Each structure stands twice: as structure tokens, then as C-alpha cells.
């Protein structure tokens, strides 16, 4: 991802962002690493009030930029890792997610349909865990049929690092590569995983309350949350520091609460 400033013929400067898909082995093999999908998502968002980048140009062959690429508007702001006002921070995240879920995604949009990155049958308890029995239970719970759930437009990877803030207000949501149609609970699950990881399960629970206030909907079904938690395991390495170990323990406390809620 690069910042690109372009001057037009009148000398006006356009502040843009260039995203290049440079992992050649994944192109064509990983359906969630496809510039066409992100382009479709951004085109769909063009006429909405979701604060997403606006698509300027697409280079699917790499003829212009050396790799398949998307050129988009550049949203000002920064990610917030330590919010000064957690209540306001969670409210901004929840309100924006309600706007995302209000987007209509007709079949003609060509977006992918949700599926876990890794099937549950291919996942095993991680070596770093001190509670393998917890993960064995999780994998048993998600092996059953999924509960009925509405399908709609979802970001698929919605969490604080994908958001940009200006003076406490959420001004942008980025990285729409894995946007798709699927259960909205998946977006809540991914956000709560990251909040639990960074701040602990209590903050993740507060996000559910904030979302319920903004949307009028109940919290996510534990099934979808556990599916998304298990989906994270293949990318989780052994902790390399005390802080990473603390993050993993916070994550597992969150998973344990979800498993208990599942019954």
C-alpha cells in the first residue's frame, strides 16, 4: 500500500492510495486475495454513506503498476490503539458497522459468499495453548450444522486496525479485500476477537451492548463467534514476548466465555 499524490492538468493535487497485490502465488489460488473482489465491494459502496475509499482506477493485469492494483481515494485519519474514551470509541465502531450492514448486495454484484478461511476439520488445538480441552470442545461445537442466519453485505475483517479516526470520530474503513455476503454476526465476531485480544473480554462484551443500542439487534450467535475464533488459529504463532502471551490468554478467556454461552 502506497500513498500517491497526482497532479492533474490544472495543477490540483489528488491524494490517492495505491494497493498492489504482489503475492503472485496467492493470486488465482486464494479466493480471498483477489483485486476484483475488492473492486466490486468498493463499487457497491460508491453510492452509500459508508466511509470507504472511492475507487479511482483498476489495473487487473499489472500492466501499469507491475502487479494487479487498485487506485483509490485516500482517507485522512489514523488508527486508534489506545482510545482516550472507550465508550465513544466502541459507539463509533458500532454505528459504522450498522451502516455497513445496511448496504444491499444483489447477486449481480459478483461478491464472494462467506466461508471460513480454513475448514474446521483441518484445524487442531494450537501448540501454544495450556487448555487444549477448550479448543477440542470448540471444534466439536462448530462441527455441527450452523444456525439459521440472515445473509447480507459484510466487511469480513472488521476490526479497529481497519478504521481511521479524526478527533474521536470514525472517518474511514479500509481493506475491503474479503468483503462478501454472509452472516452479519461474522463482523461482530471479528471485532470482538480483536477487542478481547487488545483490551480483554469485558471490552469485547461492551461492544455487543454498543451494537445492540445502535442496531436494535441482539448480540451475535456464539456459533459464528467460535467459527471465527477457530479460523484465526492457523495464523497464530507461538508467543514471542510476554505481551503476546498475555494477548493469547485474553483471547482464550474470550473463547471460553463463548463456549460457555453456547451451552
Q: What is the pLDDT of residue 218?
A: 82
User: Is residue 123 predicted with pLDDT exceeding 90?
Assistant: yes
Instruction: For residue 2, list its beta bridge partners.
Output: 18
Helix residue spans in 25-169 (DSSP H): 35-45, 86-101, 132-141
Question: What is the residue-averaged pLDDT of the chain?
Answer: 95
Is residue 203 within 8 Å of 194, Cβ to Cβ? Answer: no
Q: What is the pTM of this model?
A: 0.94
Helix%, strand%, coil% for the chain, nearest 5: 40, 15, 40
User: Is residue 263 predicted with pLDDT exceeding 80?
Assistant: no
Share of the chain above pLDDT 70, in %: 100
Q: What is the pLDDT of residue 72?
A: 98
Q: What is the pLDDT of residues 4-59, one digit of tens each?
A: 999 999 999 999 999 999 999 999 899 999 999 999 999 999 999 999 999 999 99
Q: Edge to edge, what strands does the sheet with 2-7 contain?
A: 2-7, 13-20, 69-73, 55-59
Contacts of 156 (CB under 8 A, 6+ apart): 114, 178, 179, 180, 182, 186, 187, 190
Going through the chain in order, the beta strands assigned E by DSSP cover 2-7, 13-20, 55-59, 69-73, 112-113, 152-154, 163-166, 169-173, 180-182
Query: Parallel, antiparallel, or unpaired: how do β-strands 180-182 and 112-113 relate?
Result: parallel
Q: What is the pLDDT of residues 153-197, one digit of tens each?
A: 999 999 999 999 999 999 999 999 999 999 999 999 999 999 999
Amino acid at each position: 500500500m502506497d500513498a500517491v499524490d497526482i497532479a492533474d492538468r490544472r495543477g490540483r493535487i489528488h491524494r490517492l492510495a495505491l494497493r498492489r497485490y504482489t503475492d503472485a502465488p496467492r493470486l488465482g489460488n486464494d479466493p480471498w486475495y483477489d483485486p476484483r473482489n475488492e473492486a466490486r465491494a468498493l463499487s457497491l459502496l460508491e453510492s452509500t454513506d459508508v466511509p470507504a475509499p472511492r475507487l479511482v482506477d483498476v489495473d487487473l493485469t499489472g500492466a501499469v503498476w507491475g502487479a494487479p492494483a487498485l487506485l483509490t481515494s485516500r482517507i485522512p485519519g489514523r488508527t486508534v490503539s489506545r482510545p482516550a474514551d472507550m465508550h465513544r470509541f466502541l459507539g463509533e465502531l458500532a454505528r459504522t458497522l450498522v451502516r455497513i450492514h445496511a448496504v444491499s448486495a444483489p447477486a449481480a454484484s459478483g461478491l464472494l459468499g462467506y466461508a471460513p478461511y480454513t475448514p474446521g476439520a483441518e484445524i487442531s488445538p494450537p501448540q501454544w495453548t495450556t487448555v487444549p480441552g477448550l479448543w477440542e470442545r470448540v471444534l466439536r461445537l462448530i462441527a455441527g450444522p450452523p444456525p439459521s442466519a440472515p445473509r447480507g453485505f459484510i466487511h469480513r475483517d472488521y476490526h479497529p486496525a481497519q478504521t481511521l479516526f479524526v478527533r474521536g470520530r470514525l472517518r474511514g474503513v479500509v481493506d475491503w479485500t474479503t468483503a462478501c455476503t454472509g452472516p452479519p454476526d461474522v463482523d461482530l465476531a471479528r471485532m470482538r476477537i480483536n477487542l478481547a485480544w487488545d483490551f480483554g473480554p469485558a471490552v469485547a462484551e461492551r461492544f455487543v451492548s454498543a451494537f445492540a443500542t445502535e442496531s436494535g439487534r441482539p448480540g451475535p450467535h456464539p456459533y459464528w463467534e467460535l467459527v471465527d475464533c477457530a479460523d484465526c488459529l492457523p495464523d497464530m504463532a507461538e508467543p514471542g514476548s510476554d505481551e503476546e502471551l498475555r494477548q493469547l490468554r485474553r483471547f482464550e478467556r474470550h473463547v471460553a466465555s463463548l463456549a460457555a454461552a453456547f451451552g
